[in-house]
Amino acid sequence: MSLKTIIRLQKLQLDEKRRTLAELQNLGDRLKAEIEKLKEEIAHEQATARDDFAVSFTYANFAQAAMERGRKLGESLLQVEVQISIATDQMAEAYQELKRFELAEEERLKRERDKQKRKEAIMLDETALVGFRRRQAEEEAAEG
């Protein structure tokens, strides 16, 4: 397998890891938004319960359910944050591996260019040497 193929494969893997990380970050953002929304709902219900005596009887059930939901959302957010950390590390590793292959490919191309330049220099030197010998032979023939 050539380095170009490996680099292409590494880029695809890196892109997939970036997508996964972005999805996890979006999920984390949604969970945070839900937690904030729940806090607002609790504050609104507290205010309503203070203002309306009839509602205050049902507030305890609401508060208990809201606290349970908040706990579950918090646990989910912690799990997603752990997954985000893992995905970030995996993406960084994939990026480093891609860079290693890209540097290896650059070095290989540089060696090929240097090799080609040496071949061209040798050909020019040989051409110049042949021309020099020909002129020298012509000069010797003209003198002698």
Radius of gyration of the chain (CA): 36
Q: Tell me the pLDDT tens digit for each residue of 9-35.
A: 999 999 999 999 999 999 999 999 999
Q: Tell me the pLDDT tens digit for each residue of 102-115.
A: 999 999 999 999 99
pLDDT value for 50? 84
Give ∠ CA 23-26-28 in degrees, rounded to 5. 110
* Whole-number Å distance between alpha carbons of 59 and 129: 101
